Amino acid sequence: MIPLFDTHTHDSFDVFDADRTEMMARGKEKGVIGKIQIGCDISSSKNAINVAMEYENMWASVGIHPCSVLSLKEFPKIEDELEELLKKYPQKIVAIGETGFDFFHEDTPEIRFLQENSLLQHCHLATKYKKTLVIHTRNATEESILFFRLHREKLPKRGVFHCFGEDLVFANFATQELGYALGIGGTLTYKKNEHIRDAVQKTPLEFLVTETDAPYLAPQSYRGKRNESSYMTEVVELIADLKNIPVEKCAEQLVQNAKNIFQIPL
């Protein structure tokens, strides 16, 4: 058994309501030693904290997913609400997000404006509270690069491009230019994703962390099923294979990276 750390999961979602405790136990049996529960809006951020409080070795990230930014029209100062949570649970919350750009589901000038505004607020909070930024980017490679270059001086020190799906050029930008990490999950194992495998192979291991994005994006052998942290072994094995190093060594380094990047007291 190899140690696993899931840096991005949504175990608070309803889809786990019926068997959450069993799922957590399965993870433990498969080597999962820690997880970060990710929020996508105010209520799921609160739920993420609750799950992180209920189970052992869990932490939380609070934020507004780019696909949920329309709520910002009602609460333009989302920062204040997130800050309240940060003040209340300073030890449990290790990151801010997920935040970022997503023009896959909807792409209008209004959405672009709201997403950029939201991302800026998340950056500000992460900097102020010295937390790690959890970044989502989909159909928005150019916009993400532009944003992070333009706002260089406002960026928090630590960040992760979660569910990394871009190519080596973007990987180099994220790791070498920003010093941020890449979150690697089930999509690494999908047949068509040669570009992700290429980027992972050529990116120094220190810049990689593992994640599930559960309940989504189960690795190839579980594809289409509800994802969970115990399936991460398949991803770690493939990373070790791409890096041509023993799987135990690879797994240990990936756990260490997660602890460093999220400053996990474990």
Cβ proximity of 215 and 10 under 8 Å: yes
Nearer residue to Zn ion within complex by CB, 102 or 213: 213
Q: Is 213 in the site for Zn ion (CB under 5 A)?
A: yes
- For 57, the enclosing helix (H) or strand (E) is none
Q: Cβ(194)–Cβ(187) under 8 Å?
A: no
Please list the residues that pair with 133 across neighbouring strands.
96, 159
State yes or no: residue 79 binds Zn ion (CB under 5 A).
no
Cβ(128)–Cβ(122) below 8 Å:
no
What does residue 96 show for φ and ψ, rounded to 5 degrees? -120, 125
Give the range of 127-135, 150-158, 211-219, 247-255 binding Zn ion by CB under 5 A. Answer: 211-219
d(CA 245, CA 205): 11
Q: Is 211 in the site for Zn ion (CB under 5 A)?
A: no
Q: In the bound complex, what is the minimum distance in angstroms from residue 10's beta carbon to Zn ion?
A: 6
The residue (of 9 and 233) whose beta carbon lies closer to Zn ion is 9
Pick the piece of the chain touching Zn ion (CB under 5 A) from 11-19, 46-54, 209-217, 243-251: 209-217
The distance of closest approach from Cβ of residue 120 to Zn ion in the complex, given in angstroms and rounded to an integer, is: 20
Tokens linked to 55 = 């189970």
For Zn ion, the nearest residue by Cβ is 213
Which residues of this chain interact with Zn ion, rule CB under 5 A?
213
